[in-house]
Amino acid sequence: MRRRLYQGRDYRRAQNIEELREMARRRLPNFSFEYVEGGADDELTLKRNRAIFESVTLQPRTLRDVGQRRLDRCFFGTPAQLPFMIGPTGFNGLLTRDGDLHLARAAAKAGVPFVLSNASTTAIEDIAAVEGVRAWMQIYLYRTREHVARLVERVRRLNLEAIVVTTDSAIFGNREWDKRNYAKPLQLDLRNRLDVLRHPGWIWDVLVPDGVPRFKNLGDLLPPGKDSVKGAAGALAAELDPTLSWDDIAWLRDIWHGKLIVKGMIHPEDARLAMQYGVDGVVLSNHGGRQLDGAVSALETLPEVARIGRGRLEVFLDGGFRRGSDIAKALLLGASGVLIGRAGLYGLAAGKGAGAAHAINILRSELDRTLGLLGCSNLDELSPDLIHAQHWRTLAEAAQR
């Protein structure tokens, strides 16, 4: 009998993130799934983000007592139940109604932080009201800095812990496969309009009765009546600022006194600069392969950045995480923690909030099993000698010195 993944729609039967991905692909219209899935240009970076994990081979220990295992990790001195969090992803209202609320509740239940995207269809105030949530806010430094300052003030009033500023989108990446779905900007071509009609469940969930979802954190930035996912794109593109520099990080540091995390760097020298400008943490990221095609993966630059920031900087990363063993490899190479993007969205699209929670549980279970099979009872026992590939082991040892 030929092997194949589960072909049904019951997210509870998904045994891994790839099966949730296939369920999401079947449930969503093509244009919506393509927005989640696609990368820039030839998608070389997108593919590299996944392929790089295969080069990090593990060398487990045996005859160690792993009967009790712990997966908790502190971020900025505050415990989290798992060493990963839900990273910022925009337009989630196009996957399911109130998508960000579903993700925030799943994160709160799992005891991990949730980072709300600036391009969210849920207001930060509604996220902050979720019981037990540890909410962080992602922002872009738009040209209209008065809007940014007002958003920072909203975050301050809600007493949120951290702001995550994304810096790698000052120029918009060339996402060709996404653009091919449109006859002209934001107008689906005939093939995709017909495809939407083939997904009545999605239509009733997302579009009925209020139509296309609306941005809830960008109201004072957008022209009147242009706050829908469809209508705002032109205005947002005009707000991207290619003159963005470290001076703008200094400005943000001056008006925000909570934890400040810079997301989107990939070069070790930028980590040095981040510390000079008073940044508390960084997220190594190539924007999920959606910006510069041919860029290095975050995992490849992680050990050097971890070495530079050791004891002074929380070093997170994202990009390509689909297995608990992927997360373990990042921790072995010096990461403080990992941001989950598409993996959570596949669960969300497949089964709403319960599907997102199932995606988190899959990763938790895989990470727990990986930890035990490595011969470790907690994350602090992860050490470079558990890496077999000599190149990676050498880098991991340097990161821990």
* Contacts of range 378-385, beta carbons closer than 8 Å, 24 or more positions apart: 378/69, 378/70, 378/71, 379/70, 379/71, 379/72, 379/73, 379/83, 379/331, 382/328, 382/331, 382/332, 383/332, 384/332, 385/59
DSSP category for residue 52? G
Q: How far is CA 113 from CA 64, 88, 143, 260, 327, in A?
A: 31, 11, 28, 15, 16
Neighbouring-strand partners of residue 188: 182
Beta strands in 123-184 (DSSP E): 135-140, 162-166, 182-184
3-state class (DSSP) for residue 36: helix
The residue annotated as part of the active site, out of 102, 147, 287, 358, is 287
Q: Cis (ω within 30 of 0) for the bond into 113?
A: no
Neighbouring-strand partners of residue 316: 283, 337
In sequence order, what are the residues at sequence separation of 6 or more whose Cβ sits closer than 8 angstroms to the Cβ of residue 173? 40, 287, 290, 291, 292, 293
Residue among 163, 125, 157, 116 at smallest CA distance from 141: 163
Q: Note if 257 is an active site residue.
A: no
The one-letter amino acid code at 307 reads R
d(CA 339, CA 87): 5
What are the residue numbers of the active site?
287
